[in-house]
Amino acid sequence: MHALTLNLMVQHLSRLDVSFAALSDPTRRGVLEQLGRSDASITELADRFHMTLTGMKKHVGVLEQAGFVTTQKVGRVRTCKLGLRRLEEEAAWIETYRQLWATRFDALDHVVAALIRKEEMDE
């Protein structure tokens, strides 16, 4: 395989690692849903999810690293908003898998149907 292609694949893979790991926590998914409705400060998010400021900062850091959130500090307030990554790669991976899955189980359906027909003919 061409070195550049391999390199891109590895980069792509590790980006999915980071993003799926970011999505594996209910608070972080909740924060994304919340920011989908309106921007919010770390303090507002901490209040809303019944969490310490330190805990919320950590979650926001994980989301920021995955590119899902950007933050901006004005004075003492750090405002969080949705980042530019819109889960397209994650959706694409899941879609590819679902198609594989469907093909695989369709094939199984055909085998089962053939077995049933054979049984009926043998009777």
Nearer to a second copy, 88 or 122 (CB): 88
Minimum distance of a second copy from residue 3's CB (angstroms): 18
Nearer to a second copy, 84 or 121 (CB): 84
Q: Which residues of the shown chain bind a second copy in the complex (CB under 8 A)?
A: 13-14, 16-18, 20-21, 23-26, 29, 32-33, 35-37, 82, 86-88, 90-91, 93-98, 100-105
Nearest to 86 by CA among 65, 66, 68: 68
Q: 3-class DSSP state for residue 5? A: helix
d(CA 80, CA 72): 7
Nearer to a second copy, 18 or 78 (CB): 18
Minimum distance of a second copy from residue 66's CB (angstroms): 11
Minimum distance of a second copy from residue 78's CB (angstroms): 19
Q: Phi, psi (5° rounding) for residue 58?
A: -65, -45
Minimum distance of a second copy from residue 43's CB (angstroms): 21
Return the axis-axis angle of helices 26-37 and 53-65, rounded to nearest 10°.
80
Burial, 90: exposed, middle or buried (Cβ in 10 Å; 0-12, 13-18, 19+)? middle
